[in-house]
């Protein structure tokens, strides 16, 4: 028996605003809020559906050093250039991690500086 990827917990300063950003990026909705300030977002199917949920957990201290995990995204209903513009309009910013400029992907950062990549290949929505 194997495991299944069900959720990703992300430490952050402002759970509400970061959850709102990622909900807009992924076309997710808020699934729940906890008394400790956590916000969970996910697809319409909710937890346990075909795509993982994201939980934004407020923490007081910044993460030291380089974050060792990042998310890769693929556009679903438009080409990479149009999706890049949409992500920038939502508040993403270009990030420099030493790219050569010849990559087929774009490295971006969310409003709290978490890096993620926008890949070129279009995928069907889940």
Domain ranges of the chain: 1-60, 69-126
69-126 — its CATH code? 3.10.180.10
pLDDT in tens, 25-68: 999 999 999 999 999 999 999 998 889 999 999 998 877 777 77
Tell me whether the CATH fold assigned to 1-60 matches the one assigned to 69-126. no
Name the CATH architecture for the domain at 1-60: 2-Layer Sandwich (3.30)
The pTM (predicted TM-score) of the whole model is 0.91
Q: Which helix (H) or strand (E) holds 21?
A: helix 15-26
The CA–CA distances, whole Å, from 109 to 9, 45, 67 equal 17, 27, 12
């Amino acid at each position: 028996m194997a495991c299944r990827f069900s959720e990703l917990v992300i430490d952050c300063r402002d759970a509400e605003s970061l959850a709102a950003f990622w909900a807009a990026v992924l076309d997710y909705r808020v699934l729940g809020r906890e008394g400790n300030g956590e916000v969970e977002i996910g697809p319409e199917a909710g937890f346990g559906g075909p795509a993982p949920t994201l939980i934004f957990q407020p923490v007081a201290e910044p993460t030291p050093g380089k974050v060792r995990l990042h998310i890769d995204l693929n556009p679903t209903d438009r080409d990479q250039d149009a999706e890049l513009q949409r992500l920038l309009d939502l508040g993403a910013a270009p990030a420099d991690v030493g790219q050569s400029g010849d990559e087929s992907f774009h490295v971006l950062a969310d409003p709290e500086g978490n890096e993620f990549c926008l890949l070129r290949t279009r995928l069907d929505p889940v």
